[in-house]
């Protein structure tokens, strides 16, 4: 079994990274967390090696939605790593889903009946990756019967590995992390992004007007997963975005919750895997965001 030895894993022998290992005979069986972290690190290393190299891109759902062969290769690597350890588990990857004949909505409806569903974004922030801009991540989550139990986000540019297990807190490179303590929106840095769907892009851009009046500043880093990881560790006070997919946010949602934060729909409802429009925050500024977004009802894009 591979043993991590980089400086960023200096606390790997401490809790909680190896918690959950089982010994069967003379064989050490990797935990779900260890498997996810291994897959994320391997894929991230490969992705980083391809930065600034010429590569072909192709459009998916719109002119704003592109994919590279590296996205596909990353997903194949992650899928292989996970299913090698857990061949009976289900796998939901962004690139595989794009070519699938089954609608994503149907898969998410069935999620509550699936014992183990891995939800993967092989490169969140593909545009950053294509242009050689730091801020692309690997995101891996595990849902059991529709409930998130594990989330891993790896930023290969900074060699930062974020992870969370339900009920066990959130961590970055072995250190516990927690949400921002900022109490007022005016002191809070908030982030958002621009998805590929034109209607959702428009409402996101429009909503920045009200948000900008209340918050100190708005950041757009190009990766929803990274935004959520930064809310979890307190670098950002909050994040909102419309039109996201489950693989963009599943891992990050658990990170934020386990770090003490709050995640809801943009209308204040409890987060579900099927939610496309979300707010994540340190709890204290959540009402302000909800109030700002109430000026932009989802009915306006229907």
170-182 pLDDT, tens digit per residue, is: 999 999 999 999 9
Question: CA 168 to CA 202: how far, in whole Å?
Answer: 38
Give residue-wise pLDDT tens across range 211-244. Answer: 999 999 999 999 999 999 999 999 999 999 999 9
**Predicted pLDDT of residue 254:** 98
Indicate the pLDDT class of residue 52, thresholds 50, 70 and 90.
confident
Indicate the pLDDT class of residue 5, thresholds 50, 70 and 90.
very low
| 141 φ/ψ angles, rounded to the nearest 5 degrees | -130, 160
Residue 4: how many CB atoms within 10 A of its CB?
A: 15
Give residue-wise pLDDT tens across range 249-266. Answer: 999 999 999 999 999 999
- Sheet of 137-144: strand order equals 90-93, 117-124, 137-144, 147-155, 160-165, 170-172, 175-177
Element (H, E) at 108: helix 104-110
pLDDT at 17 over 60: no
Give residue-wise pLDDT tens across range 113-125. Answer: 999 999 999 999 9
pLDDT at 101 over 80: no
Please check whether residue 248 is in contact with residue 210, taking contact to mean a CB–CB distance below 8 angstroms: no
Indicate the pLDDT class of residue 11, thresholds 50, 70 and 90.
very low
Residue 217: how many CB atoms within 10 A of its CB?
A: 9
Mean pLDDT of 264-271: 97
Residue 119: how many CB atoms within 10 A of its CB?
A: 29
Which among 11-15, 33-37, 193-197 has the top mean pLDDT? 33-37
**Predicted pLDDT of residue 203:** 94
Contacts of 259 (CB under 8 A, 6+ apart): 164, 169, 170, 177, 178, 179, 231, 232, 233, 234
Residue 119 CA: distances (Å) to CA of 136, 141, 148, 296: 17, 5, 10, 29
**Predicted pLDDT of residue 300:** 58
Residue 66 CA: distances (Å) to CA of 20, 93, 126, 195, 207: 38, 15, 7, 11, 25
Assign 22 to helix, strand or coil: strand
**Predicted pLDDT of residue 60:** 53
Q: Give percent of the chain above pLDDT 70.
A: 83
**Predicted pLDDT of residue 178:** 98
pLDDT at 19 over 50: no
Question: CA 178 to CA 232: how far, in whole Å?
Answer: 6
Residue 18 CA: distances (Å) to CA of 21, 30, 55, 145: 6, 8, 37, 24
Question: CA 89 to CA 116: how far, in whole Å?
Answer: 5
**Predicted pLDDT of residue 197:** 83
Q: Give percent of the chain above pLDDT 90.
A: 74
Q: Is the pTM of this model over 0.75?
A: yes
Indicate the pLDDT class of residue 102, thresholds 50, 70 and 90.
low
* Mean per-residue pLDDT of the chain: 87
User: Count of residues for the chain?
Assistant: 302
Residue 206: how many CB atoms within 10 A of its CB?
A: 13
Question: CA 224 to CA 230: how far, in whole Å?
Answer: 10
Give residue-wise pLDDT tens across range 125-152. Answer: 999 999 999 999 999 999 999 999 999 9
């Amino acid at each position: 079994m591979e043993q991590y030895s980089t400086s960023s894993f200096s606390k790997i022998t401490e809790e909680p990274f190896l918690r959950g290992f089982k010994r069967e005979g003379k064989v050490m069986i990797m935990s779900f967390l260890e498997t996810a972290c291994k897959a994320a690190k391997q894929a991230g290393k490969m992705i980083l090696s391809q930065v600034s190299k010429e590569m072909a891109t192709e459009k998916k759902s719109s002119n704003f939605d592109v994919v590279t062969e590296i996205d596909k290769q990353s997903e194949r690597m992650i899928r292989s790593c996970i299913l090698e350890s857990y061949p009976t588990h289900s796998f939901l990857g962004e690139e595989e889903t794009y070519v699938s004949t089954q609608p994503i909505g149907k898969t998410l409806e069935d999620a509550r009946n699936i014992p183990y569903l891995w939800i993967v974004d092989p490169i969140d922030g593909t545009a950053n990756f294509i242009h050689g801009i730091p801020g692309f991540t690997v995101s891996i989550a595990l849902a059991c019967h529709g409930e998130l139990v594990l989330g891993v986000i790896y930023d290969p540019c900074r060699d930062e590995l974020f992870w969370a297990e339900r009920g066990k807190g959130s961590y970055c490179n072995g250190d516990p992390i927690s949400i921002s303590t900022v109490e007022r929106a005016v002191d809070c840095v908030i982030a958002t992004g621009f998805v590929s769907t034109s209607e959702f892009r428009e409402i996101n851009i429009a909503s920045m007007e009200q948000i900008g009046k209340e918050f100190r500043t708005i950041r757009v880093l190009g990766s929803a997963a990274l935004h959520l990881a930064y809310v979890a560790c307190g670098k950002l006070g909050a994040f909102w975005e419309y039109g996201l997919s489950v693989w963009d946010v599943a891992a990050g949602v658990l990170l934020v919750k386990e770090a003490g934060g709050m995640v809801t729909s943009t209308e204040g409802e409890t987060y579900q895997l099927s939610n496309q429009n979300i707010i994540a925050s340190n709890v204290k500024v959540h009402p302000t965001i909800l109030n700002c977004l109430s000026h932009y009802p989802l009915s306006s894009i229907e």
